[in-house]
Structure 1
Amino acid sequence: MTTEDTVTEDAVTAQALDSLRGTADPRLRELLTALVRHLHAFARETRLTRAEWGRAIGFLTATGQACTDTRQEFILLSDVLGLSMLVETVHGHDTPGTTASTVLGPFHLTESPARDLGATLDLVGDGEPCVVSGRVRAADGTPLPGAVLDVWQADAHGFYDVQRPDAQPPGNGRGLFTADDEGGFRFRTCVPSAYPIPTDGPVGALLRATGRHSYRPAHIHFIVSADGYAPLTTHIFVAGGDYLDSDAVFAVKHSLVKDFTPTDDPALAREYGVPNPFRHARFDLVLERS
């Protein structure tokens, strides 16, 4: 019998991996095994120090503590590290002829109120008036009547309703719409603006430490669903805006950049119920069969 300490780096990893062999769920076993293997490889490659390990634990603890019912700091962390967009790219529905998918973002945290087609998302009314319209359809052009569109966006100053409840009523910038018999949809809103993601928490500290800006280009979020089709999570981005080439969460795809066209047409403005002139964004949302 020897009293010599023979624990090695490889032995620790082997023991940790062996401890997972009894995991009943095969997918959970696969994920945890890969996670342990890569984490241990990271620690060996970087020669992670005890102090650095402690700071990392503190950072993750602070990230969890920053989460609330209306703020998801872990999604924000995933976003700025590019993980959210990587997962979306691995599993996204970017079949040719369909609308590209992109990240969910950290602000889809409250239920969007049901609204009639043509209703406004802008309950404050201090932004540039805009109409967004189009159709939900299949790649072959077949309209998808009754498709459901969950829409949310920041206000004209770059804040979501949950960020400034003192200045925005609940549900501002949000709406749940049902497409008409031709798959058509339309709603009024304000032109969204570029905005910084929240920087008053751990993710903001990380961005400052790495010399990165915190801005996202102007956009409107959509989740679109229809029977028989894969749900689509996407944005539309305002063409010509800032940060399209340097989105803090890496989510811009060229096909999602759309013109918000200046429109001077009093009759059309009356039809849509907006002041003239206004901006008009037209596009179709094309779903992939499930």
Structure 2
Amino acid sequence: MTKSTINSISPDQRAVEQQLVDTVIASFDRTENARLKQLMQALTRHLHDFIREVRLTENEWDKAIEFLTAAGHITDDKRQEFILLSDVLGASMQTVAVNNETIGNATEATVFGPFFLEDAPEIPLGGDIAGGAAGRPCWVEGTVTDTEGRPVPNARIEVWEADDAGFYDAQYSDGRVAGRAHLFSDEQGKYSFWGLTPTPYPIPHDGPVGKMLAATNRSPVRASHLHFMVTAENLRTLVTHIFVEGDPQLEIGDSVFGVKESLIKRFEQMPAGAPTPDGRDLRDQAWARTRFDIVLARTRL
């Protein structure tokens, strides 16, 4: 609580409030799982501290319950409003930071986002993840190594992104699968694929999270990015993005706080007709290319 707030509350009232906190925390004392006990007691303590600090009104409590209920109603198997809420509050990035300790030169992690889907189609090296999604073609290549510089063969690389209109395939109602796929690194740890040149887009803001952003005068727009999830045996799973160097949204700010300097990459813009790495015919279409070398940390024993 602030000093002025504390001074305005009588000692008797403070004692009543503290007694409730102590009682609720004690109610978890018999929890057999030590970690669950720690989580529930800490959650209780911080939640009550928040309520007491801001002197939460009953009407505000009602509005909070309505907000969470609305988030539950709009959530389905293709949209996760609670992840979106976690993202815009920075809770997702803080959890990422806590769970992905910096290890040597390992690639930095960032938020998962609400639009990853299982069972994305497999493509060969040099294949195309677009699946008919609209956008400027982009050649992406790189290597997967560990922190000692050793190539990581057969790493599974999941990639997904929005189309040129700013929508993921899951946001369409026709069941399309586009802008996502998985592939595997080769024996030298190399990988390559065609995707789409990322563009800025707003996170879904037609629900309760969007209303909260509007009420607080915050932009829902994300900086241009391409999602990756990389897994390999005995190495720490990496969930990350790469961002587009020079994107004006980087200066304005990313709505989910996901940008890290090391993840900003140069996307070289190529004119129509420029030779492509794999001979693809793009004589009538401009395209882009970028390189993203991925370094995976060892899992802790």
Cα separation, 1, equivalents of 2:240 and 2:214: 28
Cα separation, 1, equivalents of 2:274 and 2:288: 14
Cα separation, 1, equivalents of 2:44 and 2:125: 50
Matched, 1:248 2:255: yes
Query: Which residue in the other structure is 1:68 paired with?
Result: 76
Query: Which residue in the other structure is 1:28 paired with?
Result: 36
Residue among 169, 184, 190 paired with 1:184: 190
Matched, 1:10 2:18: yes
The answer to which of 41-50 and 107-116 deviates more is 107-116
Query: Which residue in the other structure is 2:165 paired with?
Result: 157
Matched, 1:224 2:225: no
**What's the secondary structure of 2:128's corresponding residue?**
coil
Output the aligned Cα RMSD.
1.9
Residue among 132, 146, 164 paired with 2:154: 146
Q: Displacement of 1:10 after TM fit?
A: 1.2
Structure 2 residue runs of 5 or longer lacking an equivalent are: 1-14
Tell me the alpha carbon deviations over residues 211-270 of structure 1, each in whole angstroms, 9 at most, x when there is no partner: 001000111101101111111000001111132130000000010000111235968416
Given the two structures, how large is their TM-score scaled by the length of structure 2? 0.90
Matched, 1:206 2:212: yes
Residue among 285, 288, 291 paired with 1:279: 288
Amino acid at match of 2:238: L
Query: Which residue in the other structure is 2:63 paired with?
Result: 55
- CA distance 1:37–1:130, shift in 2 (3 Å): same
**What's the secondary structure of 1:158's corresponding residue?**
coil
Amino acid at match of 1:20: F
Partners of 1:188 and 1:274 within 8 A in 2: no
Matched, 1:131 2:143: no
Partners of 1:69 and 1:109 within 8 A in 2: no
Matched-pair identity in %: 43
Partners of 2:123 and 2:182 within 8 A in 1: yes
Given the two structures, how large is their TM-score scaled by the length of structure 1? 0.93
Structure 1 residue runs of 5 or longer lacking an equivalent are: 1-6
**What's the secondary structure of 2:278's corresponding residue?**
helix
Amino acid at match of 1:218: S
**What's the secondary structure of 1:162's corresponding residue?**
helix
**What's the secondary structure of 1:54's corresponding residue?**
helix
- CA distance 1:180–1:268, shift in 2 (3 Å): farther
The answer to which of 280-289 and 70-79 deviates more is 280-289
- CA distance 1:61–1:233, shift in 2 (3 Å): same
- Structure 1 ranges of 4+ moved more than 3 A: 263-268
Matched, 1:262 2:269: yes
Cα separation, 2, equivalents of 1:98 and 1:270: 27
Residue among 85, 90, 96 paired with 1:88: 96
**What's the secondary structure of 1:78's corresponding residue?**
helix
Q: Displacement of 1:35 after TM fit?
A: 0.4
- CA distance 1:267–1:171, shift in 2 (3 Å): same
- CA distance 1:286–1:270, shift in 2 (3 Å): closer
**What's the secondary structure of 2:290's corresponding residue?**
strand
Partners of 2:141 and 2:291 within 8 A in 1: yes
Partners of 2:126 and 2:278 within 8 A in 1: no
Q: Displacement of 1:156 after TM fit?
A: 1.4
Partners of 1:259 and 1:281 within 8 A in 2: yes
Amino acid at match of 1:62: A
Partners of 2:230 and 2:237 within 8 A in 1: yes
Residue among 197, 200, 218 paired with 2:203: 197
Partners of 2:134 and 2:165 within 8 A in 1: no
Amino acid at match of 2:73: Q
The answer to which of 157-166 and 17-26 deviates more is 157-166
Cα separation, 1, equivalents of 2:200 and 2:271: 24
Q: Displacement of 1:189 after TM fit?
A: 1.4
